[in-house]
A and B are shown apart, each in its own frame.
Chain A
Amino acid sequence: MTAGETFPHAPLLAIAGMALMTYGMRVGGFWLMGRVTLTGRARRMLEALPGSVVAAIVLPVMASSGPAAFLAVGAVVLSMFVRRNEFIALGLGLAVAIAVRAAGL
C-alpha cells in the first residue's frame, strides 16, 4: 500500500490510531514511574508538575485572548482566595469577561 492510496474504513483507522496514541500517553507516565525509584529531586519535580502544567497551558491562552482574559482570571483568583467556591469564582470571572468585552476592550 502506498502512502497516497485510500482504502475503506480509513476514518475508523484514523480514530483508532489517535485513540491508541492517547491511551499510551495516559498510562505511559504512570507505568514508567513504577519502574524507577524516586530520588528527592525527582519527587520535587513531580510535586512542581501540576501547577507547571496549568501555567504552561493557561498563560499562552490568556496572552492570545487579550485584557478580558487577564481581568477575568484575576477576578477568579481573588474570589478563590476569599472563598473557595468554584461556582462563585467562575460566575464572577464570566461577569467580568462579559462586562470588559461589552465595554469594547
Chain B
Amino acid sequence: MHSETARGAGAPYWSIAGLWLGMRYALPLLPGSAVFGAAFGTVAAQKGLSLTDAALMSAFVFAGASQLVAMEIWKDPLTFGTIATLALVTGVVNMRMLLMGASLRPWLGPLPAAQVYPVLLMNTDASWLISIRHRAEGGSDASVLLGSSIALWIIWVPVTMLGYVAGALIADPRRFGVDLILPMFFVAMLVPLWRGPRHAVPWAVAGFVALLVQALVPGYWFMIAGSLSGAIAGGFIDDRR
C-alpha cells in the first residue's frame, strides 16, 4: 500500500483478502463515523422518531449528511407533502453519489451487473474514496469497496441507537476535535492521489466554487456545484504524464 502510482491496473476481481483490506482501510474513520451516527441518533430522538425508525433509517439510507438534513425537515406527524420533501432533499444531498458511481465505471464495469449493483447500494463517501485510492495505487480488488462499506455499516446502525438512547454521548465534541475527523480523513486520503500541481488545478477550482456557492446559495448545492466545476476544469486540462 506504500507503492507509487501504477497506471493501467488490471481487471477487477473479488477476494476475501480484499474484504479484510477494505475493512482495515476503513478503521481510522470508524471513531468519527461513530460520533456522526450517534449525533444523528440524538437529533432523531429530539425530533420524535421512534428508536426503530432511527435505526431503520440508518440501516437503509446509510448516508449521514442526508439523514441529518432530513431531521431539519422531519415534522411529527408526517404529512404526504413532508414525505415528498424528505425524498427530494435526500436526493439533492446525495447527488454527489452519481458522480462517484460514474467514476467507478471504468474499473468495475467489466464485472457482472448482479455482483456490482448490490455492492454499489452500500457505497458511501468514505468507502468510495478508499476504493479510488486502492485503484490509484495499482489495485483492482473490488472487494475493497464491499469491505470498507460493511465496516462502516456495521458501526453505523448500533451507534445511531446508542446516540438515540444516551442523548448526547459526548458533551462537547468540538473540544476534542471530533467535528474535524471527517475533513481530516478526507484530506489524508487525497494525498496519495497527488500527481503534481497540474492535476490539482481542478481540485482548487472545485474548492473555490464550493466556497463561493456556500456563501451565496443556502443548502447543500455547494457540494454538487464544486464537484462538477472541478470535473469540468479537469476536462480542459490536457493529458501530459
Chain A residues with CB under 8 Å of chain B are 1-7, 10-34, 38, 40-63, 65, 68-69, 72-73, 76-77, 79-81, 84, 86-87, 89-90, 93-94, 97-98, 101-102
Q: Are A43 and B106 in contact (CB under 8 A)?
A: yes
Q: Are A6 and B180 in contact (CB under 8 A)?
A: no
For A58, the closest partner residue in chain B by CB is B183
Interface majority SS (helix, strand, loop, mixed), chain B: helix
B231 → A minimal CB distance (Å): 4
For B234, the closest partner residue in chain A by CB is A48
B103 → A minimal CB distance (Å): 5
A73 → B minimal CB distance (Å): 5
Is B114 an interface residue, CB under 8 A from the partner? no
Q: Are A60 and B176 in contact (CB under 8 A)?
A: no
Q: Are A29 and B181 in contact (CB under 8 A)?
A: no
For B192, the closest partner residue in chain A by CB is A84
Residues of A within 8 Å of B94, CB to CB, are: 21-22, 25-26
Partner of B235, one of A48, A73, A87: A48
Residues of A within 8 Å of B108, CB to CB, are: 30
Q: Are A62 and B183 in contact (CB under 8 A)?
A: yes
- Contacts A17-B84, A30-B102, A56-B227 aside, 11 further interface pairs with beta carbons under 8 A come to A22-B91, A33-B109, A45-B235, A49-B100, A52-B206, A56-B225, A58-B207, A60-B223, A61-B182, A73-B184, A89-B188
Query: How many interface residues does chain B have, given as a range?
Result: 35 or more
Partner of A63, one of B66, B191, B214, B235: B214
Q: Are A56 and B176 in contact (CB under 8 A)?
A: no
Is B53 an interface residue, CB under 8 A from the partner? yes
B193-232 CB mask vs A (1 if < 8 Å, else 0) is: 1000001101111110111001000000011111111111
Q: Are B90 and A18 in contact (CB under 8 A)?
A: yes
Partner of B202, one of A52, A60, A65: A52
Contact A81 B103, CB 8 Å, known A15-B57, A52-B226? no
Contact A10 B99, CB 8 Å, known A22-B66, A58-B187? no
For A35, the closest partner residue in chain B by CB is B105
Is B120 an interface residue, CB under 8 A from the partner? yes
For A72, the closest partner residue in chain B by CB is B180
Q: Are B100 and A29 in contact (CB under 8 A)?
A: yes
Q: Are B28 and A11 in contact (CB under 8 A)?
A: no
Q: Are B187 and A73 in contact (CB under 8 A)?
A: yes
Contact A28 B177, CB 8 Å, known A5-B80, A10-B78, A15-B60? no
B203 → A minimal CB distance (Å): 4
B34-42, B121-129, B152-160, B162-170: which lies at the interface: B121-129
Q: Are B230 and A15 in contact (CB under 8 A)?
A: no
Residues of B within 8 Å of A32, CB to CB, are: 98, 102
